[in-house]
Structure 1
Amino acid sequence: MSGLWFEDPGFDYWGAVPMSELDVDEAYLNITLASDVPRPLYLYQLSDDCERCPFVRRASNYVSTVLKINTKSPSIFLTPDPPLGEFGCYDLYVQGGKCELRTARDPVNIVAPLIFWVTILVVLFSIFKTSKYYILKRKEKAEEEGEGGGEEPPPEEEESPSPPRRKRVKSLDAFRGIAITIMIFVNFGAGKYQFLDHAAWNGLQLADLVFPWFLWIMGVTIPIVMSSNLRKNVSRHKIFLGIIKRSAILFLFNIMLNTFTYNGNLATIRINGVLQRFATTYLVVAGFSAYFTFQPDSGENTMLPSFVKDITLLLPQWFIHSTILCLHGWVTFHLQMPGCPRGYIGPGGYQDDAKYYNCTGGAANYIDLLLPLLGTLSSIYQVFLGTVAGNVLLHHKDTESRIKRWFLYAVLCFLLTFYLVGFANIPVNKQLWSSSFMFLTSGISFVLLIILYLAIDHYNVWDGSPFFYAGSVDFELESIMTRSWIMLVDLRSSVRSFVSRSDPI
């Protein structure tokens, strides 16, 4: 048994079976069969990870026995039962045609270690920040006392005023740092907590936020870099050539990483992947931005009211990317695939009594086996929504207007998610990068940026550390993407989880 301290059940044996043989997320189930029970007795189990699946035979029992049961995902048996927990011990009595499941030993609290260590880190960080604050205050006081007793320094010569330096938006760095921190935590197993891992199919869990957050925050930086280049009179053609160069580097870089996973076999090497999706979405969104970004101060749109410039300056891009998103929806629900119903977006396998066993992912899987495309179409819109947030930063100079506009976009994203899930029956699904998943994670991104911006850049109640240091890179896009994803060398476990998709993390 690997659990210590918090995960110690407090006893070494349960009957004749040693607790040390239980691994993380395992429990004992003692099956007791009465003499009138026909043999064999079949135990059926259903996991919540398998949507609309039938009960699956777990074991065949001829005599009373003790089984190990996995408790990571919530599961039920064909009997009223309490939820099974880690290192718990349970008795299943079968007699007279009835089954009764009882808890013999309570499971451990698997969340307690997580709460404990998070609390320790928060306390240590608070002590560090408090100590730093008082040290700085003491230093300032000492400097003031030293200046008070000396002679007045001679007047300095007047210097020509330097141009005001643009204030760095530290909340963007903190945003990236949070995403990087969660990415590292998830890639190293997330403590084997099921609720911190990726959702098995439909749904949204913590690990599912990392990839869309990176795409969205990459989009935020695009208009900032584009505006800087245009102010320097860099031609749009030269900007586009730089975009192609960066995209090609990212694409080839992930091909190199995939040679580790596939042992360098070019016949089976995986073409699509995380950085490939970054490269493709960046090429499309930044490419259109290079040619369809209007500069309000250059005479291209001088008649626009200032409070709607962040919207109207992007009208051509709104039209282009909305068309791409509609194309994604049309292909998903109208493309006919061999042996599969039109518009199927389920996991295949055992769902619906294995009726669509080889239809995993529907059109998304069918197309991506030929060309990594369909999921990228909705990802492009996610990056574009990031550029919308970045344009708010450029064209709204005060905090109130920025927060109002970001909040408006967040509400719109949540309303669209509600409509797509509740009325259009499009579930939140990262594997397919469904439009509802894209809008939901984008809405969360807007909300997170609002919180960080208020705390760090407006009220200055937090400097963004320690996340700021992990995400503090220059606004140059090659630095952003390379720094953010250089730690993704070990993609093997994610690739195996869904080899036909292009978004393993």
Structure 2
Amino acid sequence: MSFVNFKNVKFFSRKCNSHTLIYDEACLDIASDRDVTVWRQYTKCVECDYAKVLDSNKTGSLLVRTIWPVKYKVEDGYGPVCNGTFNFGEYGRYQLNVTKNGCSNITVTEQPDEPLFPMLVAVVTMLSIATLWYLVKGAYRKISQWEIWNRLMRTESRSELLIGSPNNGTIRRVSTRLRSADVFRGFTIALMIFVNYGGGGYSILRHSPWNGLTIADVVFPWFAWLMGFALCLSLHTRLRTAMKRQTAFFQILRRSVVLIFLGIVLSSKGRIIEELRLPGVLQRLGLAYFIVGTLECFTINASNNYLPGTAIFRDLRSTWWQWSVTLLLVGAHIALSLCLPVPGCPRGYLGPGGLHDNSTAKNCTGGAAAYIDTLVFGEDHLYKGGSFRSLYKATAAFDPEGLLGTLSCALVVQLGVQAARVLLAYSHPRPRLMRWMLWALFTGAVGGSLCLFSENNGPIPINKNLWSISFCLVTSSLAFLIQAFLYFIIDMYTLWEGRPFYYAGRNALLIYVGHDLMKGRFPFEWKLEFPSHMQLLAMNALAVLLWLSIAIVLHRKNVILTV
């Protein structure tokens, strides 16, 4: 359906049997001159058997999810009648006629909605507001330079505010933080809030059921990458101020323990102690921070004496200890994932279990990763959800933030550390940009090669649930690219100051904890009886704006949560 002919049909409250359609749902009416059986499966469900959805009936209406194309087949008492694949549109109603000569093509009886229209409206609105803001701001700055304006308002000129007045000797204070990194962190926390609150109900803003990569999947590894980036700069500064390495180590240990404790506290909401979830997002960040932080604490070059030598390898010199240990962790992750014997499961199984692989590994969700977590934590202390469960009908215990994935998470943190080393090793902006681009190309090429630049192929498919090595490398490659781009427009040429994300980036931990505590509570979220993309998008965007506003207020009051 084109945008020109768009009609917002969802408010007509269409039904499928007695069910009122909501976003990402459609209805298929089946009419036959004899009893037929209908089987269905989504194309996203890899190597899955068809599921029976209509048994020995002449007519019936089937509720269909519209996120992925649907494979279907029709049988009667004599055998197969027809089969095919169809991509349904949300809120649409469709007709399939079955006769003795076969099946008709699926036809549209009631036009579907255009799901991307609300997203288009939101993007155009935000761009318009941003453009208007910068036009007004630019006009104000231009007017404020006029001498008559300064006399009327009795204010200092912009040049005096920036470089100081020769009469009072005031100079501008230069921050030691990298502003583009704070902006990147703030953008990531804003994206995380939007995703965790629902992402407008769009599938691209939800986690992949198993293999694959969506926008929602990149948020967590970007946080880990940025944590490594900040760790290197902070540790380097502390050690250069004559802080003992033992003292720095205990600070790293304390922060790791606090992160793990906060993660367990946040996971405890609505749970009894016997089913308390032990793995989690902050828990993994805390463990990865401890691993990489300890390694850096006792091996980092605390001086700025980077020898000239070969410029292209300058940021790698004196880091062989760090990368040797990191590669050992990567090797351990791959070896355990592919070689650890798991009772009742194929060796090296990396699938979601359930219907996957024609149900031959039904109770093997996650393979070695789930097996290790079950041995260490027990099934009752693992995550019970996951988008893969509804698609693959998997019931086995599995936690996407388990122990095995922490080893590969340490690789992401170490790559963030490496990005910060580039800042320390190269003093000029251009070689920094070129070096980040080289790292982006290298990690992206290796990660893409491991999964053969596809979703389900290659020796190590890209998988957020397992934090596969290909997933870590590809998401880190994107992080290098974004950091280079933000550094170019913010720190080099000051084309953008990074507002409002800068404020959230300075207080990311407090915003993260707050958004988790307030999830499901007004005014950040409320229940919608029959939700649509437009309603969900408005509600989730409002939540992001509220938290960004809170970050601005906290910044102005100098309230920053650190551990």
Tell me which interval the TM-score lies in, with the shorter structure as reference length: 0.7 to 0.9
Does the Cα contact within 8 Å between 1:47 and 1:73 map onto a contact in 2?
yes
Q: How does 1:85-484 map to 2 (within 5 A)?
A: 85-100=89-104, 101-142=106-147, 146=151, 165-166=174-175, 168-262=177-271, 265-297=272-304, 308-371=313-376, 372-422=402-452, 424-473=458-507, 481-484=509-512
* Aligned twin of 2:53: 58
How far, CA to CA, are the matches of 1:248 and 1:168 in structure 2?
25
* Aligned twin of 1:28: 27
* Aligned twin of 1:152: none
Q: Which amino acid aligns with 2:72?
A: F
Per the alignment, do residues 452 and 11 of structure 1 end up closer, same or farther by CA in structure 2, a change over 3 Å counting? closer
* Aligned twin of 2:515: 487
TM-aligned CA deviation for residue 282 of structure 1: 0.3
TM-aligned CA deviation for residue 25 of structure 1: 1.7
TM-aligned CA deviation for residue 460 of structure 1: 1.8
Q: Deviations over 1:357-411 (max 9, x none)?
A: 0111111111122234211000000100000001111221211100110011111
How far, CA to CA, are the matches of 2:29 and 2:290 in structure 1?
58
322-331 vs 451-460, which moves further: 451-460
TM-aligned CA deviation for residue 28 of structure 1: 2.1
Structure 2 residue runs of 5 or longer lacking an equivalent are 74-82, 153-164, 377-401, 521-563
With the length of structure 2 as denominator, give the TM-score of the two structures. Answer: 0.77
Paired residue secondary structure (2:268): helix
TM-aligned CA deviation for residue 418 of structure 1: 2.2
Paired residue secondary structure (2:516): coil
How far, CA to CA, are the matches of 2:451 and 2:194 in structure 1?
29
TM-aligned CA deviation for residue 24 of structure 1: 1.7
Q: Which amino acid aligns with 1:8?
A: N
Q: Which amino acid aligns with 2:92?
A: G
With the length of structure 1 as denominator, give the TM-score of the two structures. Answer: 0.85
Does the Cα contact within 8 Å between 1:11 and 1:19 map onto a contact in 2?
no
Does the Cα contact within 8 Å between 1:202 and 1:427 map onto a contact in 2?
yes
Structure 1 residue runs of 5 or longer lacking an equivalent are 148-154, 474-479, 493-505
TM-aligned CA deviation for residue 97 of structure 1: 4.7
Q: Which amino acid aligns with 1:472?
A: R
Does the Cα contact within 8 Å between 2:13 and 2:21 map onto a contact in 1?
no
TM-aligned CA deviation for residue 126 of structure 1: 1.2
Q: Which amino acid aligns with 1:285?
A: V
How far, CA to CA, are the matches of 1:472 and 1:455 in structure 2?
19
Does the Cα contact within 8 Å between 1:12 and 1:19 map onto a contact in 2?
no
TM-aligned CA deviation for residue 205 of structure 1: 0.3
Runs of 4+ in 1 over 6 A off after TM superposition: 16-20, 161-164
How far, CA to CA, are the matches of 2:506 and 2:246 in structure 1?
29
Per the alignment, do residues 382 and 486 of structure 1 end up closer, same or farther by CA in structure 2, a change over 3 Å counting? farther
Paired residue secondary structure (2:90): coil
How far, CA to CA, are the matches of 2:284 and 2:293 in structure 1?
14
Does the Cα contact within 8 Å between 2:333 and 2:408 map onto a contact in 1?
yes
How far, CA to CA, are the matches of 2:441 and 2:214 in structure 1?
20
How far, CA to CA, are the matches of 2:26 and 2:370 in structure 1?
36
Does the Cα contact within 8 Å between 2:211 and 2:463 map onto a contact in 1?
yes
Let me know the Cα RMSD of the aligned residues.
2.7
Paired residue secondary structure (2:145): helix
Instruction: Find 2:65's aligned residue among 67, 70, 89.
Output: 70
TM-aligned CA deviation for residue 19 of structure 1: 11
Q: Which amino acid aligns with 2:186?
A: G
Number of residue pairs aligned between Structure 1 and Structure 2: 465
How far, CA to CA, are the matches of 2:168 and 2:514 in structure 1?
47
Paired residue secondary structure (2:41): strand
Per the alignment, do residues 287 and 17 of structure 1 end up closer, same or farther by CA in structure 2, a change over 3 Å counting? closer
Paired residue secondary structure (2:347): coil
Equivalent pairs: percent with the same residue? 31
Paired residue secondary structure (2:9): coil
Q: Which amino acid aligns with 2:194?
A: F
TM-aligned CA deviation for residue 164 of structure 1: 7.5
